[in-house]
């Protein structure tokens, strides 16, 4: 039985709906697409907003201010990429020292005069430190002559201990060992006998050329196993056609990085020393940028790269790190080649930083074992 419709005004009063709604419905009795789309759009937008509120914005960015306000010296990065997270921190093994027992002998008393370092430690702590170092470098470490380790291995181990203590003591201004930060074996080795971020001299890489042209236009790649989840890969030319020997010239030989002057270069040709050093500088800047995952404005004001009065505080820290790297490459790692009988791997910014500003997410590396800082 058909029901008699209620007049529009009475129906509006009863259902609390506006009159235009009933007028529109009378004029468009079968058009459901319009309100359906409207309802879908509104509902979809509400759902997206609800998801963003519940699970946070997946495309949220974070801004890092690197210089004075108002001149655009900042870097924006997606939070989802977590650009400053050191994945190696997940595989770091911490070893707490055992409590010394009453009348426990020291390492020197237990193992004799061949103990190369940490002889004043109680024997149990000494053994635990050997265990920790073995895990940090991915190969057994022995700190005394036990009759099973050859002289070369012992000499390299002693050199590594001295290098660690030297970095934590003489270069505390950069490594912050006095605050417990510092470095230990894992900072460079990352669980591998050869540090994945170390490097060797490039030599001539372009056999079709000689001289300056022989050290560019080739991709010299280092690829070493990292953690169980990835392989660490980087190049000396930073994926460019620039010279591959920039790290060698600047962070081993100690060549000057300051190549800016106001002289005209119109009459000069590629191969001129000034051009060559400038291109090496570009390579080094790319290396440092990739080693810390930062851009130029992390250290420089791009309006005036040459002006030392307009740089950021990070510029001074980086300059100090360059001097530190030159020091240890010249006085520790290059002389080690004589012990090995072959070229010794050396260090650069990537060796410790591995793509982040703060290695291992800022973990304190000598707080557990302050003996690593002499």
One pLDDT digit (tens) per residue for the chain, 374 residues: 444 555 555 554 555 677 777 777 777 766 566 777 777 788 888 887 777 666 667 677 777 776 666 666 777 777 666 668 888 998 899 998 899 888 899 999 999 999 999 999 999 999 999 999 999 999 999 999 998 989 999 999 999 999 999 999 999 999 888 888 999 999 999 999 999 889 988 888 877 887 778 888 777 766 555 444 444 455 667 677 788 889 999 999 999 887 776 777 777 766 677 777 888 898 899 899 989 988 888 898 888 887 888 888 899 999 999 999 999 999 999 999 999 999 999 999 999 999 899 999 999 999 889 999 97
8-state DSSP, 169: H
Q: Judge contact between 203 and 248, C-beta under 8 A.
A: no
Q: Judge contact between 323 and 54, C-beta under 8 A.
A: no
Q: Are residues 233 and 85 in the same domain?
A: yes
Q: Are residues 348 and 291 in the same domain?
A: yes
Last residue of a domain, one of 185, 211, 226: 185
Please state whether 181 falls in left (phi above 0), alpha (psi between -120 and 50) or beta.
alpha
> Residue 372: its pLDDT value, please?
93
8-state DSSP, 177: G
8-state DSSP, 9: H
Q: Can you give the pTM of this predicted structure?
A: 0.76
Q: Judge contact between 8 and 22, C-beta under 8 A.
A: yes
- Report which secondary-structure segment, H or E, holds 133: helix 123-137
> Residue 124: its pLDDT value, please?
95
Instruction: Examine residue 149 and state whether it is found in any structural domain, yes or no.
Output: yes
Instruction: Examine residue 41 and state whether it is found in any structural domain, yes or no.
Output: no
Q: How far apart are CA 174 and CA 171, in angstroms?
A: 6
> Residue 12: its pLDDT value, please?
45
> Residue 328: its pLDDT value, please?
96
> Residue 234: its pLDDT value, please?
57
Q: Are residues 147 and 218 in the same domain?
A: no
Q: Judge contact between 106 and 93, C-beta under 8 A.
A: no
Q: Are residues 200 and 164 in the same domain?
A: no
SS3 call for 131 = helix
Domain count, the chain: 2
Task: Please choose, from the candidates 143, 144, 109, the residue with its C-alpha nearest in 3D space to the C-alpha of residue 129.
Answer: 143
Last residue of a domain, one of 185, 207, 233: 185
Q: Are residues 67 and 109 in the same domain?
A: no
| Binding residue positions | 174, 185, 188-189, 285, 296, 299-300, 349, 352-353
Q: Are residues 112 and 177 in the same domain?
A: yes
Residue in the structure block whose two tokens are 């997206």: 48
- What is the residue range of 298's domain? 61-91+191-259+272-353
Q: Are residues 224 and 346 in the same domain?
A: yes
- DSSP for 33-72, written as a single string: HHHHHHHHHHHHHHHHHHHHHHH--TT-EEEEE-SSTTTT
Q: Are residues 85 and 224 in the same domain?
A: yes
Q: Are residues 106 and 130 in the same domain?
A: yes
Q: Are residues 175 and 198 in the same domain?
A: no
Instruction: Examine residue 7 and state whether it is found in any structural domain, yes or no.
Output: no
Q: Are residues 117 and 224 in the same domain?
A: no
Q: Are residues 175 and 236 in the same domain?
A: no
- DSSP for 229-283, written as a single string: T-EEEEESSTTSSS-S-HHHHHHTS------------TT--BTBHHHHHHHHHHH
Q: How far apart are CA 155 and CA 330, in angstroms?
A: 18
Q: How far apart are CA 289 and CA 284, in angstroms?
A: 8
SS3 call for 24 = helix
Instruction: Examine residue 363 and state whether it is found in any structural domain, yes or no.
Output: no
Structure tokens at 23: 């007028």
Burial of 223 from C-beta contacts in 10 A (0-12 / 13-18 / 19+): exposed
Other CB atoms within a 10 A radius of the CB of residue 331 amount to 11
Last residue of a domain, one of 127, 161, 185: 185
Q: How far, CA to CA in Å, does 202 sit from each of 72, 218, 289, 346?
A: 37, 11, 20, 12
| Binding residue positions for heme | 174, 185, 188-189, 285, 296, 299-300, 349, 352-353
Instruction: Examine residue 5 and state whether it is found in any structural domain, yes or no.
Output: no
SS3 call for 78 = strand
* 221-225 and 231-235 strand pairing: antiparallel
Instruction: Examine residue 300 and state whether it is found in any structural domain, yes or no.
Output: yes
């Amino acid at each position: 039985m058909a029901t008699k419709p209620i007049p529009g005004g009475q129906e509006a009063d009863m259902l609390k709906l506006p009159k235009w709604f009933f007028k529109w419905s009378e004029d468009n009795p079968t058009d459901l697409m319009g309100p359906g789309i409207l309802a879908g759009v509104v509902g979809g937008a509400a759902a997206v907003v609800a998801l963003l509120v519940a699970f946070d914005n997946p495309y949220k960015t974070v801004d890092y201010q690197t210089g004075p306000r108002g001149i655009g010296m900042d870097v924006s990065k997606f939070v989802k990429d977590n650009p400053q997270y050191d994945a190696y921190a997940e595989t770091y093994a911490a070893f707490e020292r055992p409590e010394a027992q009453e009348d426990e002998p020291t390492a020197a008393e237990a193992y004799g005069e061949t103990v190369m370092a940490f002889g004043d430690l109680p024997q149990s702590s000494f053994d635990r430190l050997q265990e920790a170092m073995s895990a940090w470098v991915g190969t057994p470490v022995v700190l005394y002559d036990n009759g099973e380790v050859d002289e070369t291995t012992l000499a390299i181990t002693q050199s590594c201990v001295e290098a660690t203590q030297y970095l934590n003591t003489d270069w505390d201004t950069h490594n912050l060992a006095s605050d417990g930060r510092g470095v230990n074996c894992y900072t460079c080795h990352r669980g591998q006998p050869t540090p994945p971020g170390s490097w060797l001299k490039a030599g001539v890489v372009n056999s079709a050329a000689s001289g300056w042209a022989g050290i560019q236009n080739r991709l010299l790649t280092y690829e070493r196993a990292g953690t169980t989840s990835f392989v660490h890969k980087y190049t000396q030319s930073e994926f460019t056609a620039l010279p591959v020997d920039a790290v060698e010239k600047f962070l081993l030989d100690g060549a000057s990085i300051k190549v800016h002057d106001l002289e005209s270069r119109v009459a000069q040709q590629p191969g001129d020393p000034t051009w060559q050093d400038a291109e090496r500088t570009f390579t080094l800047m790319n290396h440092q940028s990739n080693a810390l995952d930062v851009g130029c404005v992390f250290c420089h004001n791009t309006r005036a790269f040459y002006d030392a009065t307009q740089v950021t505080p990070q510029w001074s820290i980086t300059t100090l790190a360059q001097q530190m790297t030159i020091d240890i490459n010249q006085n520790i790692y290059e002389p080690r080649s004589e012990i090995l009988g072959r070229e010794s791997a050396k260090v650069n910014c990537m060796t410790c930083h591995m793509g982040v500003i703060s290695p291992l997410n800022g973990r304190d590396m000598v707080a557990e074992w302050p003996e690593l800082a002499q």
